[in-house]
Amino acid sequence: MTIAVAVKRLAHGAGLPLPDYATAGSAGLDLLAAVSSTVLIAPGTRALVPTGLAIALPPEFELQIRPRSGLALKHGIVIPNSPGTIDSDYRGEIQVIVLNAGREAFEVTRGMRIAQAVLAPVSRLVWQETDDLDRTAREAGGFGSTGLDFPMGN
């Protein structure tokens, strides 16, 4: 399935290619850093990296911003609110919160593939308030309770 999305290139994104899929089977588009100069992210700190793009998603879709696995493995670069969400009614610049969970400073340079974006459908729920919920084998067990050989305390 292909969904048309309007994209506006901002002034500081001039000269950078639009995000694209690296391979025919890629789920995510690579987002590029539209920085004017190198951004140094020290270990344990974060930075807001601009992409130079604003978009108009169709209703009932979101754009999920996710980390790139290679940056996470090799440098400890993660997206702390992963997946970040670009809502269909947001028209500002797509920016990526980047956290350096690694041991060395990390340099973000212009045009670097800094994150990936995945288009996803959005379903909306309608609350049905009740006094009782149906019972399950798991009940209130959470926070790693599945697959353990001992019962979790509540």
pTM of the model: 0.86
Domains of the chain plus CATH, in order, are 6-121 (2.70.40.10)
Cα 66 to Cα 114: distance, rounded to the nearest angstrom: 9
- Output the 3-class SS for 85-123: EECCCCCCEEEEEEEECCCCCEEECCCCEEEEEEEEECC
Per-residue pLDDT reduced to its tens digit, 36-81: 999 999 999 999 999 999 999 999 999 999 999 999 999 999 999 9
pLDDT at position 97: 98
Per-residue pLDDT reduced to its tens digit, 72-105: 999 999 999 999 999 999 999 999 999 999 999 9
- CA angle 2/116/18 to nearest 5° reads 65
Per-residue pLDDT reduced to its tens digit, 140-152: 877 776 665 555 5
